[in-house]
Amino acid sequence: MPSQTWSAVFPGNAAFVRKALYGSVFVQDWTGTNNWAAYSPFDSASGELVTTLLTTDGWNDLGYLDDSGVDFTPNYSVADTMAWQTRLKLRTDATEDTESAKFMCQESKPIIDALYNMLPLASVSAMGTTGYAVTKPLTPQIVYRSMLFLGVDGSTNNEAYIATLYPKCLMIKPDNQSWNSKTEIQTGLTFQAYPDALSGFAVKRFREGPAWRALGLPGGVGALGITPGATQLAVTWTAATVGSGAPALTNYTVTANKVSDGSAAAGSPFTVAAGTTNKTITSLTTGQPYTVTVKANNANGSGPVSTGVGTPT
């Protein structure tokens, strides 16, 4: 029977290996009236962060964290039903399915004091306030927050983002604080996500950014082959590929424009079926050079444009 090597079938893609090189933690008090169901911190057109972040969205950035970033811990447990008549499990039921996030704040400022002492953010004083003081309540308070965690990979203008939204969460564990001459004062906090009735979920994750979107776009078609003919150009290219899990190729777009004035050839741009890798462009002006472009398209958008120049005879 036919055979093939492992390397021919292995679907791994190094572009899918990501790190959270940088990031932020954003917080605001949970109000119970904010419906986070349709919220996204990303612009739908560009995939970059929305301009309302830290302006009108109500978020506060906690500033520098230690280099451990954020540690997300799933808490999942099950209970098994056993019977005397069998050594196999009759059924298994989930008894807990929660998630918590732990991080270490490195900045000493009023908003961190409020989180550490379970106080509403509305009570936070401005930095440098004269007579600043925070009083820990004698009776423990339950103050829910909304939190957004943002991780950033890639380079400027080619970022890959990952974000996690807790629409409703509670600080369940403040870590020890150490005051000494060797290390900065750090404030460790752990927040647990809770279901938010209005939004309809407890945890939501996003992936966005130009680098993320590029993974779903077709590849380029390589250098164009352009063969001149009588008032025509025969254009050929290599079939574009799409990555694993990306939408299938839908078609190619071919354009032809006069170099002299940029005017388009009759019928340009042309749409070519996905299974075809050639196009003959006719009714061109003899002796006039034309710039020809080809790009592949799928449901996510278009791949890189390949360009060539040809002159009809």
Can you give the residue ranges of every domain in the chain?
15-213, 217-310
Q: What is the pTM of this model?
A: 0.84
- How much is the pLDDT for 119? 96
Beta strands in the chain (DSSP E): 22-29, 60-61, 65-83, 86-105, 145-155, 158-174, 187-193, 204-208, 225-229, 232-236, 249-258, 270-273, 278-281, 290-298, 301-302, 306-310
**pLDDT tens figures, 220-275:** 999 999 999 999 999 999 999 998 788 999 999 999 999 999 999 999 999 999 99
Q: Which residue has tokens 């093939």?
A: 4
Question: Of all residues in the chain, what percent carry a pLDDT higher than 90?
Answer: 90
Res 2 pLDDT > 90: no
**pLDDT tens figures, 158-168:** 999 999 999 99
**For residue 272, what are the contacts with CB-CB under 8 A and spacing of at least 6?**
251, 252, 253, 254, 278, 279
Instruction: Provide mean pLDDT across the span 157-179.
Output: 96
Query: Would you give the DSSP letter of residue 196?
Result: B
- How much is the pLDDT for 9? 86
Give which of 183, 62, 71, 52 is closest to 115, Cα–Cα.
Answer: 62
Res 128 pLDDT > 80: yes
Res 1 pLDDT > 80: no
Res 23 pLDDT > 90: yes
Q: Which residue has tokens 């939004």?
A: 199
Question: Of all residues in the chain, what percent carry a pLDDT higher than 70?
Answer: 100
- Computed over every residue of the chain, the mean pLDDT equals 95
Res 8 pLDDT > 90: no
**pLDDT tens figures, 52-87:** 999 999 999 999 999 999 999 999 999 999 999 999
Separation in Å, CA 126 to CA 60, 104, 110, 123, 249: 13, 22, 7, 10, 54
Res 206 pLDDT > 90: yes
CATH code for residues 217-310: 2.60.40.10
